[in-house]
């Protein structure tokens, strides 16, 4: 089982909050489609000896889409750190305190922060121990958090033409928290897929990084 999932900063990509909203909605839609394609095969995975190849392939597609959603969030968080004076490490610390306050169980011995892994500046988040979480509830939770992100970006910042309810910096901070929440949903489910269904997340992560390099997003 994979110990930690790290997603990198993309040095050659500088999205805006508006483009991030469009991208995250696109990726979340692709994730929802992948989950819907997989659901008819979900019960078959309990039989370790007779798992259809298509079920394994569809589950890997789900994991890949989770990576893409999480990467979209992480990429924008790094941009917000550099361009909007958002302290992502402090954001993560507050995120961890919130998880503890809500009673979520996870490994407290690991360091959750921005760190350097090889040639990458990366971010990692905890694997929450949730007994009742499913792929379907994860998709719904991601959509909920995207809705909150949209509210901070639009209505609460005044971008929709209404009177702003928050100062710009407060709205930006709210956007950052929601991006972190979406990423957390993805990280938790990726860990669950690795543990429950033996999805090879290390291999998928390697393929994910290779794809980013091919597209010129990172070295």
Domain with 70, as residue range(s), is 7-214
- Report if residue 90 sits inside a domain: yes
> Is position 2 within any domain?
no
Residue 183 lies in a domain: yes
In a domain, 209, yes or no: yes
105 SS3 class: strand
pLDDT single digits (tens) 113-126: 888 776 678 888 99
Q: Which tokens hold the place of 160?
A: 């929709």
Confidence at residue 72, expressed as pLDDT on a 0 to 100 scale = 96
Q: Which has the closest alpha carbon to 9: 59, 73, 56, 63?
A: 73
pLDDT one digit per residue (tens) for the chain, 219 residues: 577 899 999 988 889 999 999 999 999 999 999 999 999 988 877 666 677 889 899 999 999 999 999 999 999 999 999 999 999 999 999 999 999 999 999 999 988 988 877 667 888 899 999 988 999 999 999 999 999 999 898 766 666 666 777 788 888 999 999 999 999 999 999 999 999 888 999 999 999 999 999 999 986
Find out whether 145 and 53 touch, Cβ atoms under 8 Å.
no
21 found inside a domain: yes
216: left (phi > 0), else alpha (psi -120 to 50), else beta? left
Q: Where are the alpha helices (DSSP H) in 84-200?
A: 88-101, 135-153, 168-196
> Torsion-angle region of residue 19: left (phi > 0), alpha (psi -120 to 50) or beta?
alpha
* 3-class secondary structure, 114: strand
Residue 11: the pLDDT is 87
Res 47: pLDDT? 62
| DSSP labels, 184-202 | HHHHHHHHHHHHHS---HH
Enclosing H/E stretch for 27: helix 17-38
In a domain, 219, yes or no: no
Closest-CA residue to 125 (of 170, 89, 101, 152): 89
Whole-angstrom Cα Rg for the chain: 17
Beta carbons of 70 and 76 less than 8 angstroms apart:
no
Inside any domain, residue 30: yes
Residue 1 lies in a domain: no
Alpha carbons 154 and 158: distance in angstroms, whole number: 6
User: What are the C-alpha distances in Å from 212 to residues 149, 167, 208?
Assistant: 25, 35, 6
Distance (Å, whole) CA 38 – CA 59: 6
Q: Could you give the number of structural domains in the chain?
A: 1
């Amino acid at each position: 089982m994979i110990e930690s999932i790290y997603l990198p900063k993309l040095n050659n990509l500088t999205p805006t909050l508006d483009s991030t909203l469009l991208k995250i909605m696109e990726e979340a839609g692709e994730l929802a489609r992948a989950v819907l394609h997989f659901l008819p095969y979900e019960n078959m995975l309990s039989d370790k000896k007779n798992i259809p190849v298509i079920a394994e392939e569809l589950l890997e597609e789900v994991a890949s889409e989770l990576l893409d959603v999480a990467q979209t969030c992480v990429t924008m968080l790094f941009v917000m750190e550099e361009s909007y004076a958002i302290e992502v490490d402090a954001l993560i610390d507050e995120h961890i305190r919130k998880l503890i306050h809500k009673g979520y169980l996870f490994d407290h011995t690991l360091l959750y922060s921005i760190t350097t892994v090889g040639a990458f500046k990366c971010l990692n988040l905890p694997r929450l121990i949730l007994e009742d979480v499913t792929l379907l509830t994860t998709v719904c939770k991601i959509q909920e958090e995207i809705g909150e992100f949209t509210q901070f970006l639009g209505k609460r910042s005044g971008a929709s033409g209404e009177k702003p309810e928050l100062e710009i910096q407060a709205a930006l901070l709210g956007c950052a928290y929601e991006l972190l929440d979406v990423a957390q949903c993805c990280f938790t489910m990726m860990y669950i897929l690795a543990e429950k269904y033996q999805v090879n997340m290390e291999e998928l992560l390697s393929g994910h990084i290779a794809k980013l390099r091919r597209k010129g997003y990172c070295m």
